Amino acid sequence: MKRKDFIKLLAAAPLTLSAMNLPEFNKLVSQLPKQGKKLPVLFTSHGNPMDIPMSREQRPFWNTLFKLGKDLQTHYEVKAVVVVSAHWCTKGTYVNMSGEQKQIYDYYGFPKEYYEVKYQAKGAPEMAHEIKKLIPTITETNEWGLDHGAWPMLMHLFPEGNVPVFQLSIDYHAKPEYHYNLGKQLKSLREKGVLIIGSGSLIHNLQLAGKTILEHTLACFLDHAQLRAVVVSLAVDDPYWPGLECVQDPRIHRADGGAERADSVLSGLQRLSELGAQANDWVLVHDAARPNLARSDLDLLLAELAHDPVGGLLAVPARDTLKRAGADGRVQNTVDRSTIWQAFTPQMFRLGELQRALADALLAGVAITDEASAMEWAGQSPRLIEGRSDNLKVTRPEDLLSLNRLWQGRS
């Protein structure tokens, strides 16, 4: 029985129920519209950008999501998915109404193939409008799509793209209580076949030893006597930066981040020029997610490259046996590690030369993975300065565990 037919029958029921016997009443009840199971709520990491090109065989996490997606579709009728992504932070709460979802590659500095991975999924504007009806203060928009907090895990949960998807933003001006109450208001969607997913994987805004990763990273430089200025390239609407204590330091300046690493670095170099830096001045480019740079390594880099005609970078020689893999995930051959180094940061070059190399490489469509690769493309040979291997880049949960062990007792 359809819902509308049942409602018509129910409207007449007060006139007839008294005349019904029990079997007749049971027959009426058996025709009640079937309610599907209440869908669960998921929270999952969206994964490391480094994992994006990997197959499910190469990355067990992707395989776990794939199996979970199959189980969900076996046991539930998943009509739509709403993702609350840490990559979409706004002033006020927005819901994406797009019927066709554009794919947003909001991670930077990776090889070209990382931006060629496609996930085709339809939007769910009717279901998104349901949220607007539930919570009138939410704003509808068509100016978003599926960001890195959504599509990498969705492409394994629902690889066929056959489940409509839409996103809900996080209001970074609102208190935790607001978001808690928002969740309570949205829970009725679970009974309408909507799978609610919270997605996120914080790095430089994570707290460790009482400070964010970014603050620890900046501290590596702020204590150095040769420092003249620091520029931090950030998303235009980064919600965490204004609340950090280090923002008050007059030596720290902010620049707008770009679509890729090279764009963000160019923006930072431009800001340094505006602050009075000259083309022949040395600049250091450092990853925000490398908070364990040793002072001895920084001093070594500055001393060794002070009179170098090109510049260079911290790096460590490869210590493990290296294998070259084929598309099938099997070993093709063993790589000679005697000439292989792992590139770290800081990377140190003259401002004008680095600016020119990055701009020219971007104009030529060259994939730039770090500043040294831009200088190499420009015909230069940066010098490798051997540093400490514990200059970790925080990209995986085990990196945080390693830092925690290294920093025991730090406050």
- Report yes or no on 280 lying in a domain: yes
Looking at residue 410, its pLDDT comes to 65
Instruction: Specify burial of residue 229 (Cβ count, 10 A radius: 0-12, 13-18, 19+).
Output: middle
Does residue 176 sit in the same domain as residue 218?
A: no
- Report yes or no on 134 lying in a domain: yes
Per residue in 46-72, pLDDT (tens digit) is 776 777 888 888 888 888 899 999 999
Per residue in 303-333, pLDDT (tens digit) is 999 999 999 999 999 999 999 988 888 999 9
Per residue in 209-252, pLDDT (tens digit) is 778 889 999 999 998 999 899 999 988 777 778 888 899 999 99
Q: Which of 170, 199, 228 is the last residue of a domain?
A: 199
Does residue 178 sit in the same domain as residue 224?
A: no
Contact 78, 163 (CB under 8 A): yes
CA separation for the pair 39, 7 (Å, rounded): 25
- Report yes or no on 296 lying in a domain: yes
CA separation for the pair 59, 42 (Å, rounded): 20
For residues 70-80, give the mean pLDDT.
92
Residue at token pair 């420009």 = 378
C-alpha count within 13 angstroms, C-beta hemisphere, residue 71: 8
CATH code for the domain in which residue 104 is found: 3.40.830.10
Does residue 194 sit in the same domain as residue 215?
A: no
- Report yes or no on 26 lying in a domain: no
Give CA 241 to chain center in angstroms: 17
**Res. 256: pLDDT tops 50:** yes
Contact 237, 89 (CB under 8 A): yes
Q: Which of 166, 199, 232 is the last residue of a domain?
A: 199
Q: Which of 169, 199, 229 is the last residue of a domain?
A: 199
| pLDDT confidence bin for 7, thresholds 50/70/90 | very low
Angle at 216 between CA 212 and CA 221, to 5 degrees: 145
Does residue 80 sit in the same domain as residue 193?
A: yes
Does residue 96 sit in the same domain as residue 46?
A: yes
Does residue 325 sit in the same domain as residue 291?
A: yes
- Report yes or no on 375 lying in a domain: yes
Beta bridge pairs of residue 341? 317
- Domain extent, residue 331, equals 211-406
Contact 261, 368 (CB under 8 A): yes
Does residue 373 sit in the same domain as residue 397?
A: yes
Closest listed residue to residue 165, CA positions, set 105, 99, 73, 118: 99
Looking at residue 13, its pLDDT comes to 41
Number of domains in the chain: 2
Does residue 148 sit in the same domain as residue 291?
A: no
Per residue in 124-139, pLDDT (tens digit) is 999 999 899 889 999 9
| pLDDT confidence bin for 175, thresholds 50/70/90 | confident
CA separation for the pair 287, 204 (Å, rounded): 10
CATH code for the domain in which residue 353 is found: 3.90.550.10
